[in-house]
Structure 1
Amino acid sequence: MLPMREVLEFPEHFLFGTATAATQIEGHCEDTDWAAFAREPGRIRGGDTPAVACDHLHRFREDVAIQQQLGLGAHRLSLEWARLEPGEGDFDPAAWDHYREVLGAHRDAGITPMVTLHHFTIPRWLAARGGLANPELPRLLSRFAAHAVEALGDLCTLWITINEPNVVASHGHLLGVWPPAHHAPIEAFRVLQNLLAAHDAMYRAMHDTASQRGHDLAAGVAHHLRIIEPDDTGRVADRAWTALYEWLFNGWFAGAVCERKTHDFFGLNYYSRDLVRFAPERFREAFLERNVRAGAEVNDLGWEIYPEGLGQLLDLWAPRAGVPVYITENGLPDDDDDQRPRFLVRHLAEVARALQRGLDVRGYMHWSLLDNFEWAEGYAPRFGLVHVDYETQTRTPRPSAALYARIARERRIDDATWAAIGA
């Protein structure tokens, strides 16, 4: 007789859901910095643009129905700032009504929405005035946030102010692979500081508005955190650059939010582990090279699959945050869906074990519900639980979606679940 495998359970209040972002799935918005960036030759793999994406703008009810059929209880989505405020201070009532329909459809389906206000993209009018480096950013984003709570606060209680501030600062202002395509380390850190000020202002404005309107509201940041280790532990330069990268990428922004207590929950986006090598030849990458451990399993983009890292980050940041934690993103590009079932089970197992250790983790949002426009990588990476045929816009749930649905329905990882992934 085979030994029984580990049985792990989730409490009744735990939210199983998915995550998406407006630019990546909605289509039909030419007023963002990313729409303009994608039209520049050579910027996006394959020359792809988010012009249509998954046409979610017109198909959101179909996508909500898929979530409902899977029995998922939560969905994290974002608002397209440029759609809602196409000119500075010029809010579009029809666009706000659209998002009321989107949130209402989720609530009618029994799905708890979590709304992100800034998910990488900005309106072109702001990009033309310095973008995220503009000192007016905190005022502009706090005004937008207050308007969002006033317009939508009766339909949503869970809010993300900013998604992955460390990523948007580094990719756009250090590595130069996202708009505005700058290679300026000092500017990148100033943008990070500006985003922190913006988050603080948004947090206060949202709570003030919610209080005035009588809405319940909990707000936080979706922090992208990675496991960061030296490539060669015997090399002093690798250890030093690992510590610097750890502080700048993982620690600075998230630590500041924790210290200032400007959050009601801690959002954790987790994908992979980096092995850091000091590389003096990589001037434009701040002398940093990120590697993968030899023999490690990797996904379609070459990122290491390292589930244990999620548990390690929960142990480190949940006590430091002092508030409930949501896994606001976790997923992988896996076109043929041969890795995603194991990925899901192993990462959810880390969450369940963290719950056993007494950590207050309230939910898990898998990235992503749909295949989508993956920024500079275009449409090649396939992150979706649901396959999207971009020519016909046909949605087809992958086998991993059924596995995730069963875990969500039964609220446990049991012997049959482990057997399903060959563990």
Structure 2
Amino acid sequence: MGSNPNRRQVVAGAASLLAAGRAADARTRPAAPRSGRDFLWGTAISAHQSEGNNTASDSWLLETITPTAFKDPSGDACDSYARYEEDLDIAVSLGLNCYRFGIEWARIEPAQGMFSEAALDHYVRVLKACHARRLLPIVTYNHFTVPLWFAMRGGFEVVDGADLFARFCARATQKLGPLIGMATTFNEANILGLRRVLPRFASDAEAANARAMIAAAARRTNSPAFSSMLFGDPDKIDAVMLDAHAKAQAAIKAGPGDFPVGVSLTMQEVQGVGPDNRAAEVERTMYGGWLDAARRSDFVGVQTYSRMRVGAKGLLPADGSVPLTDMGYENYPPAVGATIRYAAKHIGRPIYLTETGIGTTDDAARARFIDATVAEVARCIAEGIDVKGYLYWSLLDNFEWTSGYAKQFGLVAVDRKTFKRTVKPSARVLAAHARAREL
């Protein structure tokens, strides 16, 4: 996300890959995690980025309005709304045992108070398809997008937004709960905290374009309070989202169904550099009240892509010691181990690495990244940290928010016209790790 607060595009930092290649890494890394069927190996996708034609959402309007901060509209995306069984079959072919995906609020409640039984039935079929393939379904109730009507009334900038989100979660759980394996309320609930850490959003031309886009959406919909989560005011949204998480978690836990409910956080490594560095300040800003919220959840989803180096004056630029990803931040797998340790120390709940990945057209680099990040997880487990899963982002080359379709995180390429899926060699690397754990 580069002109909006997508963690994969905005995280800054630098460092080095510790291995010269997979062969050398295999000789030096500790034994990989072996936790039998209790350890989850999987991939993640989101609803809006993969399903396609999410026309009742705020993002659909923002992608198609002028001016827009988005390089491409999402359009058909990967057509996963229709092709989900093919995607699940690929996950099974890779030896994975879980599948993380989102349910789309805008499909389920396209107008305020009007819930679509057809949409809920669709997600019942997806969940049943997961179970039929012995994939534990991990459901994300919100992955950034909201219904257009919700954005028009102020989104999470208005206090009762928390109650409306909890109502959606309760209604969805009534239908889907008995089939859900695990769930998170929000994806990267503290994403706007990361935005606060990155002051360029307040001044650069892309941010100005994003503000113009929101203003245009407000005019188009005659909604002066229009607010989209990714582009909203952190000072107004934070408290409402914390309330929304607490209320949604209670609503989901009320059932039906009996499954762990957590929250995923963007947790980039923060490295202090030199005397009087502001690393602690950056951490407080990035996490806000979400560490406390995670402590009151069943588990925390750690989502890590790189590091941030912080000096006495704030964020430092890349130091040039390692290559950058196609997203412009540093290819730094040790950040995964660092954030898992941070979560263990400051949250103390069971940990799932619900996302890590690399945006690159170099699939060999992706394979090395997978090897290196799996090794980081192994080291944390060897230290006694309660890490219960490794999920790569993402299964598919999908819609990467403001970057459109130019950036590739997927283990599987998707033809933009035919939607043909082509499994990349890096997917076989993840498969080898999963199968070696006898899962």
Judge conservation of contact 1:170–1:188 (CA < 8 Å) in 2: no
Judge conservation of contact 1:159–1:220 (CA < 8 Å) in 2: yes
Judge conservation of contact 2:292–2:347 (CA < 8 Å) in 1: no
CA distance in 2 between counterparts of 1:124 and 1:169 reads 23
CA distance in 2 between counterparts of 1:395 and 1:185 reads 32
Which structure 2 residues correspond to residues 393-408 of structure 1 after superposition, within 5 A?
393-408=419-434
Structure 1 position 268 matched with structure 2 position 302:
yes
CA distance in 2 between counterparts of 1:308 and 1:5 reads 14
Judge conservation of contact 1:14–1:363 (CA < 8 Å) in 2: yes
Q: Which has the higher relative contact order, 1 or 2, with Cα contacts under 8 A spaced 6 or more apart?
A: 2
Deviations 1:137-189 (A, max 9, x none): 11011111111221111111301001112215665998344874889999313
Structure 1 position 327 matched with structure 2 position 363:
no
Judge conservation of contact 2:242–2:290 (CA < 8 Å) in 1: no
Structure 1 position 244 matched with structure 2 position 288:
no
CA distance in 1 between counterparts of 2:42 and 2:232 reads 37
| 2:435 corresponding residue in structure 1 | 409
Deviations 1:205-235 (A, max 9, x none): 1112x2xx3x2121111100111235x525x
Structure 1 position 81 matched with structure 2 position 105:
yes
CA distance in 1 between counterparts of 2:77 and 2:69 reads 14
| 2:82 corresponding residue in structure 1 | 58
Which structure 2 residues correspond to residues 132-151 of structure 1 after superposition, within 5 A?
132-151=156-175
Q: Secondary structure at the match of 2:138?
A: strand
Structure 1 position 31 matched with structure 2 position 56:
yes
Q: Secondary structure at the match of 1:332?
A: coil
CA distance in 2 between counterparts of 1:277 and 1:294 reads 16
Structure 1 position 11 matched with structure 2 position 39:
no
| 2:317 corresponding residue in structure 1 | 291
| 1:256 corresponding residue in structure 2 | 292
Judge conservation of contact 1:44–1:375 (CA < 8 Å) in 2: no
Q: Displacement of 1:10 after TM fit? A: 2.1
Long gaps (5+) in structure 2: 1-23, 202-206, 216-226
Measured at CA, do residues 296 and 40 of structure 1 come closer, stay the same or move farther in structure 2, by a change above 3 Å?
same
Structure 1 position 124 matched with structure 2 position 165:
no
CA distance in 1 between counterparts of 2:169 and 2:408 reads 31
Judge conservation of contact 1:277–1:291 (CA < 8 Å) in 2: no
Long gaps (5+) in structure 1: 280-287, 413-423
Comparing 16-25 with 160-169, which one deviates more in the overlay? Answer: 160-169
Structure 1 position 302 matched with structure 2 position 308:
no
| 2:264 corresponding residue in structure 1 | 222
TM-score normalised over the length of structure 1: 0.86
Measured at CA, do residues 202 and 16 of structure 1 come closer, stay the same or move farther in structure 2, by a change above 3 Å?
same
Pairing partner for 1:199 from 222, 229, 245: 245
Pairing partner for 1:165 from 186, 189, 204: 189
Deviations 1:39-96 (A, max 9, x none): 12353453x1112100111111111111111111111100110000001111000000
Judge conservation of contact 1:165–1:192 (CA < 8 Å) in 2: no
Pairing partner for 2:362 from 319, 336, 348: 336
Measured at CA, do residues 308 and 94 of structure 1 come closer, stay the same or move farther in structure 2, by a change above 3 Å?
same
CA distance in 2 between counterparts of 1:186 and 1:101 reads 34
CA distance in 2 between counterparts of 1:4 and 1:397 reads 27
- What amino acid maps onto 2:82 in structure 1? H
- What amino acid maps onto 1:229 in structure 2? Q
Q: Displacement of 1:322 after TM fit? A: 2.6
CA distance in 2 between counterparts of 1:169 and 1:375 reads 18
Comparing 316-325 with 86-95, which one deviates more in the overlay? Answer: 316-325
- Identity rate, percent: 35
| 1:20 corresponding residue in structure 2 | 45
Which structure 2 residues correspond to residues 306-317 of structure 1 after superposition, within 5 A?
306-317=332-343
Q: Displacement of 1:108 after TM fit? A: 0.5
Q: Secondary structure at the match of 1:88?
A: coil
Pairing partner for 2:128 from 76, 85, 104: 104
CA distance in 2 between counterparts of 1:291 and 1:132 reads 32
Q: Displacement of 1:17 after TM fit? A: 0.1
Which structure carries more strand by proportion?
Answer: 1
Q: Secondary structure at the match of 1:8?
A: coil
CA distance in 1 between counterparts of 2:137 and 2:232 reads 36
| 1:283 corresponding residue in structure 2 | none
Comparing 373-382 with 313-322, which one deviates more in the overlay? Answer: 313-322
| 2:382 corresponding residue in structure 1 | 356
- What amino acid maps onto 2:305 in structure 1? Y
Measured at CA, do residues 397 and 123 of structure 1 come closer, stay the same or move farther in structure 2, by a change above 3 Å?
same
Measured at CA, do residues 217 and 101 of structure 1 come closer, stay the same or move farther in structure 2, by a change above 3 Å?
same
Q: Displacement of 1:336 after TM fit? A: 2.8
Q: RMSD of aligned C-alpha atoms?
A: 2.6
Q: Secondary structure at the match of 1:154?
A: helix
Q: Displacement of 1:391 after TM fit? A: 1.6
CA distance in 2 between counterparts of 1:81 and 1:169 reads 23
| 1:369 corresponding residue in structure 2 | 395
